Amino acid sequence: MYDSSKPFIEFKNVTKTFDSFKALDNITLTIPQGCFMTLLGPSGCGKTTLMRQLAGFSEPDSGDIYIKGIRVNGLPPYKRNTPLVFQEYALFPHMTVKENITYGLKLKNTDKESVGRRFDEMLKMFNLAGMEQRFPKQLSGGQQQRVAFARALIMGQEVLLLDEPLSNLDAKLRVEVRTELRQIQRKLGITTIYVTHDQDEALSMSDLIAVMRAGKIEQVGTPWQIYFKPENRFVADFVGTVNFMDVVISGLFEDRLLINWQGSAISMNRMDYVLNPGEEASLIVRPEYISLRPAANNESADQENSLRGEILFYSFLGRFIRYWIKVKNQTFIVDDSNPSLSGAIEGEVIIALDRNKLHLLRNSKS
Amino acid sequence: MAKYLKKEKLKEIKRLGNEPLLLLTIVFIILFTSCFVIWPVVRLIALARPSEFLVLFTNSRWARSLANSLFMMVISTVSCTVTAFIFAYTITRLDVPLKRFFRFITLLPIVSPPFVVALSYILLFGVQGIITKGLFGLHVDVYGVFGLWVVQTVTFFPYAFSIIIGVMGKISTNLEYAAYNMGASRWQVFKDVFWPLCRPGVAGGVLMAAINVLTDFGNPIMIGGDLALLPTEAYMQIVGWYDMKTAAILASALMVPSFIIFILNRFWVGRRSYVTVTGKEISLTPFKPHFLVKWGLFTFCSIMSAFVLLVYGSLFIGAFTRAWGYDWSFTMANMGYVWEKFREVWNSIKYAALSSILASLLAMVLAYIVQKKSVGINKFLDFLAVLPSAVPGMFLGLGFVIAFNTPPLKLTGTGLIMVLALMFWNLPTCYSASIAGIQQIGESVEDAALNLGADSFQSFKDVILPLLRIPFLSGFVLSFLRSVTCLSVIIFIYSPRTTVGTASILGLVSNGLWGAAAAFTVVLISIAFSVLLLTNRFLRKHGGSLNL
């Protein structure tokens, strides 16, 4: 999809403080050409600030920003060619759809013919035919949003910035638009930076995700890396739901690891963890990789990675049932993605952890 | 932290060096405003030595005027606020007929010269009054405290009303229902929920009424009689004795409470009134009050409105009556007189229009800089823009006389001084209209323009300016209405050549020419009202509304 050898946008040691609040703390990040990069994090983590530094709405206190190898620090926003789709769209209320979309081209004194041609392309791409003469307030939220996309994309730039553009849409439309948006991005091969706090959006759309917290980047990786191999507890917890188990490494073998959790042995694939026996670590288990079945009266959990527990509570969500299960002195969240028609399981259960999907974090790293 | 903030401000100021146009604009605005607001005020206060201000307490006449002014301020403010509250409550909360009519009644005094009610009150209740003499054959003295109190209440309750209804209209009825739901009685809901939420509006209304009553010149000069008040005494000192110094001392005494009210309004009420709940929620229709309360309030509003109608009606009839009280036959002679003096009406329009255009332009640029640019001194510029509202109109006028009667800026007697005085007097009105307009423009709309390749100037021209058309217009119109009907600011600075309608009316009244005065007033009100109606129609077409 993208060429990781060609850096397109680079942030080098970018720091920005507001009053005494450190919004960006020595950020270094490279975005390859054609890549869909998502900045993911809770509100206040600096993701929007980072994007605004790139668009030139504010200047970093220190550090450099490069676009295509050219340093853009100090360049005013109108000279950066970084079209941005704003969270609240920021359509010009006094201009029609056509005037809104073509405003940027008009400023560049583009000739009429190519303005018309490119405008027609946008109408088609975003399904806006027939709305040319409407004003923003005469459009629905979804339509306004498509106008905002068209206004940014018509500029024909090699980069597109998106600041939580889907957050004002209702849930169903949001899922539709994100698929559409990703298809358009792939077709055009446009380098895209996408700011969001929504992990579903990040996982479903991105080539790369940078998870941010408190002005710092916690991890950069593909959605798979972020989800299955989070580098610290924050990333693991922020993306998806997770069970943390405090474990001690008890044995290292060629193909597997043996760990001890509150007296129970758990085994997992060896992979390339660098660990020492006796070391404390966190085991990360996603709720969907724990299976469960009702326990027979006196059955003990003696198969591999099995534990006996008791269901405390459940919540039926349609495609799965989420259980809260007490095992020893910890409560596990377990998702059963194949709920029975007759209702939820109750009482004593045996849960089993999938040894292929377990992930270990060295405690020093959290 | 404070030190850090200071450093940040300095950084912003230094950055202005990169934007010479902006820097130049700011310097110009500061110099211009200092020259025509601060300088006149300083000159006027500096006219008398500090020790000479003691006459305010030692001279029994001045001490009495000070006490009288404050007394009138208190009683008229109370009556204005109560009336305004009842009107606002009736219009927003009660299911009664005539609500649109009540609303209209509250507009009338705002588009009228400040002495209309006094003038009409004399026609109704004076020596030749229809009601006193005609109906009851009485011979009463209406001049004095009671007459002035009634007149000021009718004149100024609409100002308090416009503030109170602004706050009251935003209080969601859901909150009251929530209280009823928890078992509160009507009185408890009023006392515990509704009233506390109204308080910022009422406080704002009180201050608005107080400052208007205190600095009112038109009504006391016509109906005050022997009652000595600061504004009228200051006027007498100049017109009768050419005693600039005493006038300055009296006017300065006005400045103190006026400034206190300004500060209170800005830093206390101003901050509180935004606490109201915003956001889209569906409000239920208000809970029905007790029927006695409902019809009692309705009756009050009806009587008050009838009185206002009577005031304006008698003025209108007076304009077409040969000799009020003696000869009731119809005549166009008064209108003919106005026609002869048409130049004065034209002056009114000309100066009002010019000063309002200038004030709106200055206000818009100021508002844009204060709201959208970080220039380090935003707060100071904001203060500068609203400062004239702390200066009573008459004080500003007097300041202009003293500050600009000698070279290098010898402006006395010119049309320019009229325009400048009205312009700065109206600056805060236009400024708040522009601020409201700019605040409605989405946070990132201007960023979007920059992002698409528009530079600062292009984004101001293509985005900000078109979006400010409606606030600009409403600021302009409000300022125009205020100027056409203004007396206090211009009373000291007009010359025979630059005299305006309101000044002539004052002259006519003091010569007892009621008919001509009424005709003149009717003409001014008609002009003001036509402008108001035209603008309202235009704005409604474009989805805006005039916020009086």
What are the start-end ranges of the E strands in B20-71? none
Give yes or no for a contact between B403 and B40, defined as CB atoms under 8 angstroms apart: yes
Cβ contacts of B463 on chain A, cutoff 8 Å: 92
A356 close to B (CB below 8 A): no
Cβ pair A90:B458 closer than 8 A: no
B181: confidence class by pLDDT, cuts 50, 70, 90: confident
Min CA distance, B270 vs chain A (Å)? 26
Looking at the partner chain, which of A20, A84, A91 has a beta carbon nearest the beta carbon of B451? A84
Residue in this structure with the two tokens 């021209």, named with its chain if needed: B461
Nearest residue of A to residue B5 by CA position?
A: A19
Higher model confidence: residue B174 or residue B298? B298
Q: Is the pLDDT of residue B261 over 90?
A: no
pLDDT single digits (tens) B26-80: 899 999 999 999 999 888 888 877 778 777 778 888 888 889 999 999 999 999 9
Radius of gyration, alpha carbons of chain A = 25
A18 close to B (CB below 8 A): no
- Count CA atoms closer than 13 A to A248's CA, side-chain side: 6
For the segment B266-284, the average pLDDT, to the nearest whole number, is: 54
Q: Is the pLDDT of residue B455 over 90?
A: no
Residue B526 one-letter amino acid? S
B325 Ramachandran zone, left/alpha/beta (phi>0; psi -120 to 50): left
pLDDT score at B280: 44
- Report the range out of A62-76, A208-222, B270-284, B487-501 with the highest average pLDDT: A208-222
Q: Is the pLDDT of residue B277 over 70?
A: no
pLDDT score at B272: 52
Residue A154 one-letter amino acid? I
Min CA distance, A358 vs chain B (Å)? 44
pLDDT score at A365: 45
Q: B543 CB contacts (<8 Å, ≥6 apart)?
A: none
Looking at the partner chain, which of A82, A90, A151 has a beta carbon nearest the beta carbon of B444? A90
Cβ pair A104:B452 closer than 8 A: yes
Where are chain B's structural domains?
A: 16-46+332-548, 49-272+293-327
CA-CA distance, B358 to B426, in Å (whole number)? 10
Q: Is the pLDDT of residue B543 over 70?
A: no
| Helix or strand (DSSP H, E) at A200 | helix A199-205
State the DSSP string of B88-103. Answer: HHHHHH---TTHHHHH
Cβ contacts of A155 on chain B, cutoff 8 Å: 452-453
Task: Report which of B399, B444, B392, B437 is spatially closest to residue B417, judged by C-alpha positions.
Answer: B399
Per-residue tokens: A130: 């027939």
Min CA distance, A266 vs chain B (Å)? 53
Min CA distance, A135 vs chain B (Å)? 13
In terms of residues, how long is chain B? 548
Residue B247 one-letter amino acid? A
pLDDT single digits (tens) B400-410: 988 888 777 77
CA-CA distance, B250 to B74, in Å (whole number)? 19
pLDDT score at B361: 92
Interface of A with B in 138-157 (CB under 8 A): 151, 155
CA-CA distance, A208 to A35, in Å (whole number)? 7
Number of neighbouring beta carbons within 10 Å of residue B407: 6
Cβ pair A78:B444 closer than 8 A: no
pLDDT single digits (tens) A294-303: 887 777 767 8
Min CA distance, B26 vs chain A (Å)? 22
Beta bridge partners of B461: none
Cβ pair B447:A57 closer than 8 A: yes
Residue in this structure with the two tokens 């054959």, named with its chain if needed: B137
CA-CA distance, B532 to B60, in Å (whole number)? 45
- Count CA atoms closer than 13 A to B428's CA, side-chain side: 14
Relative to beta strand B321-323, strand B327-330 is antiparallel
Residue A67 φ then ψ, to 5°: -120, 120
Number of neighbouring beta carbons within 10 Å of residue B26: 22
Min CA distance, A157 vs chain B (Å)? 11
CA-CA distance, B498 to B418, in Å (whole number)? 8
Cβ contacts of B458 on chain A, cutoff 8 Å: 78, 107
The dihedral through the CA atoms of B493, B496, B498, B504 has a sign that is positive
Percent helix / strand / coil, chain A, rounded to 5? 25, 35, 35
The answer to whether the predicted template modeling score (pTM) of the entire model surpasses 0.80 is: no
Q: Give the single-character DSSP code of A198.
A: -
Largest pairwise CA distance in chain A: 82
Domain B16-46+332-548 annotated CATH 1.10.3720.10: yes
- Count CA atoms closer than 13 A to A245's CA, side-chain side: 28
Give yes or no for a contact between B352 and B483, defined as CB atoms under 8 angstroms apart: yes
Cβ pair B452:A83 closer than 8 A: yes
Give yes or no for a contact between B399 and B44, defined as CB atoms under 8 angstroms apart: yes
- Count CA atoms closer than 13 A to A38's CA, side-chain side: 27
For the segment B258-277, the average pLDDT, to the nearest whole number, is: 68
Cβ contacts of A93 on chain B, cutoff 8 Å: 442, 445, 467
Quote the mean pLDDT of chain B.
84
Residue A308 φ then ψ, to 5°: -100, 135
Give yes or no for a contact between B203 and B209, defined as CB atoms under 8 angstroms apart: no
CA-CA distance, A77 to B455, in Å (whole number)? 8
pLDDT score at B263: 84
For the segment B157-173, the average pLDDT, to the nearest whole number, is: 86
CA-CA distance, A158 to A192, in Å (whole number)? 9
Q: Is the pLDDT of residue B287 over 90?
A: no
* Lowest-confidence pick of A37-41, B50-54, B144-148: B50-54
Looking at the partner chain, which of B5, B455, B467 has a beta carbon nearest the beta carbon of A94? B467
Cβ pair A84:B466 closer than 8 A: no
Beta bridge partners of B348: none
Q: Is the pLDDT of residue A347 over 50?
A: yes
Give yes or no for a contact between A197 and A119, defined as CB atoms under 8 angstroms apart: no
pLDDT single digits (tens) A108-156: 888 999 999 999 999 998 989 999 999 988 899 889 999 999 999 998 8
pLDDT single digits (tens) A78-116: 888 899 999 888 888 888 999 999 999 988 888 999 999
Q: Is B49-272+293-327 in the same CATH topology as B16-46+332-548?
A: yes
Which three-class secondary structure string do you get for A29-50?
Answer: EEEEECCEEEEECCCCCCHHHH
Cβ pair B4:A86 closer than 8 A: no
Residue B113 φ then ψ, to 5°: -60, 155
Interface of A with B in 61-120 (CB under 8 A): 76-79, 81-84, 86-88, 90-94, 103-104, 107-108
Per-residue tokens: A95: 């201009």
Question: Within A108-198, where are the H helices?
Answer: 112-125, 141-153, 171-188
Task: Report which of A151, A135, A53, A265 is spatially closest to residue B448, judged by C-alpha positions.
Answer: A151
Size of interface A-B (CB pairs under 8 A): 73
Q: Is the pLDDT of residue B176 over 50?
A: yes
Min CA distance, A273 vs chain B (Å)? 46
Chain B residues within 8 A (CB-CB) of chain A? 1, 4-5, 8, 442-445, 447-455, 458, 462-463, 466-467
Task: Report which of B217, B496, B471 is spatially closest to residue B361, judged by C-alpha positions.
Answer: B471
Cβ contacts of A90 on chain B, cutoff 8 Å: 442-445, 447-448
pLDDT score at A321: 93
Give yes or no for a contact between B338 and B346, defined as CB atoms under 8 angstroms apart: no
Number of neighbouring beta carbons within 10 Å of residue B349: 17
Residue in this structure with the two tokens 């188990």, named with its chain if needed: A245
A136 close to B (CB below 8 A): no
CA-CA distance, A285 to A282, in Å (whole number)? 10
Considering the segment(s) B49-272+293-327 as one domain, its CATH architecture is Orthogonal Bundle (1.10)
Per-residue tokens: A190: 């446009």
